[in-house]
Amino acid sequence: MAKNPLHTKLCDSLGIEYPLIAFTHCKDVVAAVTNAGAFAVMGETQNTPDEIAADIKWIREKVGNKPFGIDLVLPASVPPSGTIADLKAQIPKEQREYAEGIKKRYGLSTPKEQPFVEQLGWLTQETPRKQLEVVLDEKVAVLASGLGNPDFILDAAHERGMQVWGLVGKARQAKRELDAGVDAVVAAGHDAAGHTGAIGTFSLVPQVVAIADGKPVIAAGGITTGRHLAAAITLGAVGAWTGTLWLASRESDKEMAVKERILSAIAEDTVHSACVSGFTMRTLRTKWHDEWAKPEAPRPAPAPFQLLLSGEVMQAAREQNLEGWVGEAAGQGVGFVTKMKPARQIVFDTVEEALNVFEETTGVVPGED
Ligand SMILES: Cc1cc2nc3c(=O)[nH]c(=O)nc-3n(C[C@H](O)[C@H](O)[C@H](O)COP(=O)(O)O)c2cc1C
């Protein structure tokens, strides 16, 4: 019987059925995806060490001993430490004044609630280190690093039987991390939601595979269908890492206005800009993007200062229910996400479509393997 092309090395190394990885900030999505036989990585940059420990406990209660991962963001270019007030005091004047001007033009007042971005661990280098301690103590199967080189944590993770994955946007960066000993790299193309570089998934993945010397490469960026999953495997990846695909799932805890925008958006509704966080990032376009794209706008401030500016203004706009300000990270594959489905169903539909594509294109019926 023909082999199952979706049974990759990643399935063996993690003991999972399908080489589909969900990145999400929602633990219900993690549980549903894990129990459906795929793999999920929970983004925890916004949580305190105690909250991370509680999430891990909750997920384990739902999935038993099935493996899952935790993602933290570890950029080296942000200040070593500091309170939110310290960081706000360092926001460059030009960008602060421009953001004040935007607030005035839209009639935005100071938000009542603390902006969500002020909880992100990666605003300084100090918090992620405390978050990492919990993840190491809990010995989760995979520690993924969304930004920043995780090489300093490799020995500690490996001693605990954990894998370490690094997200990369360039072959050079992949080589550096693989040489340091990461267990896999996630090659995230320009198409991807969130922080991403200039090279598209179709160019980046084979470049990284070519220098990986047989080490696992996972493809990311714009993967929202089974056809994309089949393409990722064909490009040489051992799996597909996906984010946008889960945002409008039934279990997702995103607010309904965000889900509705995701379900109706097409690729052109996403934009790649540093105006949200100071690092280039793909998100849905909002009025904030339009303001920073104007010829008179200054360049965005470096991270994390731009994030503090965008966080405050976006929070105020949300509280005042302003039209055109509903934003979220989303990849170019968003146009294929058109129905709100349970996460389990998304796993099965994506896998089934990928197998059909292999059958259609090769004429070989994939075996059960
Ligand atoms: C709403 C949202 C938030 C994200 N936040 C993070 C994050 O905190 N850490 C991280 O490593 N990646 C983050 N990402 C990026 C994903 O890990 C992943 O690389 C990306 O979603 C892949 O592209 P796709 O959305 O086109 O599948 C985020 C993505 C989305 C959609």
Q: What DSSP line would sit under 312-359, residue for residue?
A: HHHHHHHHTT-TT----B--GGGGG--S---HHHHHHHHHHHHHHHHH
Q: What's the CA-to-centroid distance between 220 and ligand 1, angstroms?
A: 9
Taking CA atoms, 257 is separated from 109, 254, 302, 321, 363, in Å, by: 21, 8, 29, 10, 43
Domain that holds residue 65: 1-76+125-254+339-357
pLDDT at 6 > cutoff 60: yes
pLDDT at 368 > cutoff 60: no
Cis preceding linkage at 304, omega within 30: yes
Residue nearest to atom 10 of ligand 1 (CA): 146
Per-residue confidence (pLDDT) for residue 1, from 0 to 100: 52
Question: Strand order in 194-195's β-sheet?
Answer: 194-195, 281-284, 270-273
pLDDT at 369 > cutoff 80: no
Ligand 1: does its nearest atom lie under 6 Å from the Cβ of 194?
A: yes
Q: How far apart are CA 125 and CA 202, in angstroms?
A: 32
State what percent of residues in the chain have pLDDT above 90.
84
Nearest atom, ligand 1, residue 186 CA: 19
Q: Pick the residue with more confidence: 132 or 78?
A: 132
Q: If you count DSSP H runs as helices and E runs as strands, how many of each does the chain have, helices first?
A: 14, 11
Across the range 31-36, mean pLDDT stands at 98
106 near 126, Cβ under 8 Å?
no
| Lowest model confidence (mean pLDDT) among 5-14, 139-148, 189-198 | 139-148
Ligand 1: does its nearest atom lie under 6 Å from the Cβ of 243?
A: yes
* Mutate which of 21, 23, 282 for ligand 1 pocket (most atoms within 8 A of beta carbon): 23
**Statement to judge: residues 135 and 68 lie in one domain:** yes
Per-residue confidence (pLDDT) for residue 124, from 0 to 100: 83
**Statement to judge: residues 164 and 288 lie in one domain:** no
Summarize pLDDT for 282-322 with one digit per residue, the tens.
999 999 999 999 999 999 999 999 999 999 999 999 999 89
149 pLDDT band, cuts 50/70/90, is confident
**Statement to judge: residues 307 and 199 lie in one domain:** no
**Statement to judge: residues 26 and 111 lie in one domain:** no
Mean of the per-residue pLDDT values for the chain? 94
> Is position 369 within any domain?
no
Per-residue confidence (pLDDT) for residue 362, from 0 to 100: 86
pLDDT at 110 > cutoff 80: yes
Per-residue confidence (pLDDT) for residue 77, from 0 to 100: 81
Return the beta strands (E) in the chain as ranges: 20-24, 39-43, 69-72, 142-145, 163-168, 184-188, 194-195, 217-220, 239-242, 270-273, 281-284
Please give the structure tokens belonging to residue 103. Answer: 């607030």
194 near 169, Cβ under 8 Å?
no
Across the range 85-105, mean pLDDT stands at 95
Per-residue confidence (pLDDT) for residue 2, from 0 to 100: 63
Ligand 1: does its nearest atom lie under 6 Å from the Cβ of 244?
A: yes
> Is position 108 within any domain?
yes
**Statement to judge: residues 59 and 177 lie in one domain:** yes
Ligand 1: does its nearest atom lie under 6 Å from the Cβ of 278?
A: no
**Statement to judge: residues 161 and 112 lie in one domain:** no
Number of domains in the chain: 2
Q: What's the CA-to-centroid distance between 146 and ligand 1, angstroms?
A: 8
**Statement to judge: residues 286 and 180 lie in one domain:** no
**Statement to judge: residues 105 and 195 lie in one domain:** no
Per-residue confidence (pLDDT) for residue 57, from 0 to 100: 98
Residue nearest to atom 8 of ligand 1 (CA): 43
Decide: residue 54, CB within 10 A, 0-12 exposed, 13-18 middle, 19+ buried: middle
Q: What's the CA-to-centroid distance between 188 and ligand 1, angstroms?
A: 9
pLDDT at 78 > cutoff 90: no
**Statement to judge: residues 34 and 129 lie in one domain:** yes
How many CB atoms neighbour CB 58 within 10 A? 14
Ligand 1: does its nearest atom lie under 6 Å from the Cβ of 177?
A: no
Q: What's the CA-to-centroid distance between 284 and ligand 1, angstroms?
A: 13
**Statement to judge: residues 282 and 168 lie in one domain:** no
Amino acid at 324: G
Taking CA atoms, 129 is separated from 68, 74, 150, 158, 221, in Å, by: 20, 8, 11, 17, 27
How far is C-alpha 234 from the chain's CA centre?
22
Q: What's the CA-to-centroid distance between 221 and ligand 1, angstroms?
A: 9
Taking CA atoms, 309 is separated from 39, 262, 298, 361, 367, in Å, by: 34, 24, 13, 49, 53
**Statement to judge: residues 158 and 190 lie in one domain:** yes
**Statement to judge: residues 322 and 343 lie in one domain:** no
Closest CA to 57 of 129, 127, 162, 134: 134
Residue nearest to atom 5 of ligand 1 (CA): 194
Summarize pLDDT for 213-263 with one digit per residue, the tens.
999 999 999 999 999 999 999 999 999 999 999 999 999 999 999 999 999
> Is position 91 within any domain?
yes
Q: What's the CA-to-centroid distance between 282 and ligand 1, angstroms?
A: 9
> Is position 30 within any domain?
yes
Summarize pLDDT for 323-334 with one digit per residue, the tens.
899 899 999 999
**Domain with 32 in it: what CATH number?**
3.20.20.70
Residue nearest to atom 1 of ligand 1 (CA): 329
Q: What's the CA-to-centroid distance between 57 and ligand 1, angstroms?
A: 23
Residue nearest to atom 4 of ligand 1 (CA): 194
Amino acid at 219: A
